[in-house]
């Protein structure tokens, strides 16, 4: 099918219709990832139009850049194509060094972050910890007693934050049955079967009763942990997640456009993957981290929180964890919903399925936001090629 015909016509031809049943499958995701709120209910995360951060142009020529991986060399255009790039913004010292859009995307298009949404939540948690609203040593059940009879009993907020809760849950994105399918239906991302009773995200947690290992152990990637943490935030503050994200993060960073987050049928936010924003605004968020958490004279994200992301992780927990196959041979850790690639300088980054990323090199003041529409949720070859491309871009930016 010609991918340019997706959702074209009034009505669109049946073969080109993007629906709740197919929106995360190729080629339909090429259109849907830029139009999520037309498929799934959402809540606005307003920006402040009077407080928009300017991103001046300071172009750096990347046309001749080559990306090397496994003995192959890719030209930069080939790199963008091979990694199914929808949008790419590279900032150097707060200026746009390079910008690219494909697959019908533009600078104004809001694209789903998928699990980079978790990294956004991680920053909001840091702000609330600094304010004294959250205590990461507190048990989750203190805030959400409804889950006392689940595998989350005894887990701390810190365990959720670092993906070290001992929950038996197989994050198999290609599964066709099991808890992950029920999870998708509960969050409103998959349709219910005919006659099936509607579900919701918060009641879904009651189904997670099997234990993997003790809390605080290995890095075990379980997306429901993040949605549960989003619920804990709303309980602790008495406010909607979308409103908090706007007030404490999106407005203060100088975002140029509203963002939004998907919600279930009862309004629970999909904090693990439903955040949608422009490529430039995601880069603006990264730039605040590159500058120590401050913007326009205000400390948005606590500097100590960013330092904890960079230095507070447990490499042993990572080495025993779930994601080694995607980042083979790399020394890394996971902390506060962020990945850290060790090195001089270290690289702070977020990862989302189907190729969503935000990279922050604080030492070199290089920020790279990248949206993609991979055919597979977790494609090892494309993840490795993306990491090689980011390394090449960082090298070029440092030399510019």
The catalytic residues are 115
Q: Which conformational region is residue 102 in: left (phi greater than 0), alpha (psi within -120 to 50 degrees), or beta?
A: beta
Place of tokens 């999870």: 183
**The residue to which tokens 């890719």 are assigned:** 74
What CA–CA distance (Å, rounded) separates 340 from 343? 9
Q: Distance (Å, rounded) from C-alpha 185 to C-alpha 168?
A: 19
CB 57 within 8 A of CB 357: no
Are 294 and 288 in contact, with CB atoms under 8 Å apart?
Answer: yes
> How far is Cα of residue 296 from the mean position of the Cα atoms in its chain?
25
| The pairing of beta strand 275-277 with beta strand 259-262 | antiparallel
The set of long-range contacts for 316-323, using a CB threshold of 8 Å and a minimum separation of 24, is: 317/162, 317/164, 317/217, 317/218, 317/219, 318/219, 320/217, 320/218, 320/219, 321/163, 321/218, 321/219, 321/220, 321/221, 322/171, 322/219, 322/220, 322/221, 323/219, 323/221
Q: How many CB atoms lie within 10 A of CB 153?
A: 14
Q: Which two tokens stand for residue 387?
A: 């990491």
- Closest C-alpha to 357, from 367, 342, 365, 369: 369
Q: What residues does 323 pair with on adjacent strands?
A: none
Residue position matching structure tokens 């920006």: 47
CA distance 151 to 213: 10
H/E segment holding residue 333: strand 332-335
């Amino acid at each position: 099918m010609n991918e340019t015909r997706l959702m074209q016509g009034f009505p669109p031809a049946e073969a080109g219709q993007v629906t709740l049943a197919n929106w995360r499958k190729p080629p339909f995701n090429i259109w849907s990832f830029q139009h999520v709120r037309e498929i799934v209910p959402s809540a606005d995360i307003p920006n402040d139009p009077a407080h928009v951060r300017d991103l001046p142009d300071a172009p750096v020529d990347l046309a001749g850049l080559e990306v090397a991986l496994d003995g192959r060399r890719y030209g930069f255009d080939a790199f963008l194509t091979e990694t199914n790039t929808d949008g790419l913004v590279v900032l150097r010292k707060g200026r746009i060094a390079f910008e690219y859009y494909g697959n019908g995307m533009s600078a104004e298009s809001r694209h789903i972050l998928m699990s980079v949404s978790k990294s956004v939540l991680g920053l909001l948690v840091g702000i609330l910890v600094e304010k004294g609203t959250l205590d990461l040593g507190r048990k989750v059940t203190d805030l959400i007693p409804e889950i006392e009879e689940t595998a989350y009993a005894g887990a701390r907020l810190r365990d959720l934050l670092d993906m070290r809760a001992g929950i038996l849950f197989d994050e198999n994105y290609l599964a066709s049955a099991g808890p992950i399918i029920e999870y998708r239906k509960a969050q409103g991302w998959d349709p219910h079967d005919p006659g099936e009773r509607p579900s919701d995200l918060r009641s879904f947690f009651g189904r997670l009763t099997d234990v993997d290992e003790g809390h605080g152990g290995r890095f075990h990637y379980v997306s429901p942990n993040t949605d549960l943490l989003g619920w804990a935030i709303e309980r602790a503050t008495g406010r909607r997640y979308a409103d908090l994200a706007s007030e404490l993060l999106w407005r203060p960073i100088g975002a140029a456009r509203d963002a939004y987050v998907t919600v279930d049928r009862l309004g629970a936010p999909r904090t693990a993957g439903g955040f949608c924003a422009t490529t430039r605004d995601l880069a603006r968020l990264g730039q605040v981290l590159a500058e120590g958490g401050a913007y326009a004279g205000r400390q948005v994200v606590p500097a100590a929180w960013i330092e904890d992301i960079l230095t507070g992780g447990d490499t042993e927990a990572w080495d025993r964890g779930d994601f080694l196959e995607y980042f083979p041979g790399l020394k890394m850790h996971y902390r506060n919903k962020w990945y850290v690639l060790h090195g001089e300088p270290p690289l702070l980054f977020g990862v989302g399925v189907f190729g969503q990323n935000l990279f922050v090199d604080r030492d070199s003041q290089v920020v790279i936001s990248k949206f993609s529409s991979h055919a597979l949720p977790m494609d090892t070859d494309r993840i490795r090629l993306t990491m090689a491309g980011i390394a090449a871009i960082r090298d070029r930016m440092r030399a510019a």
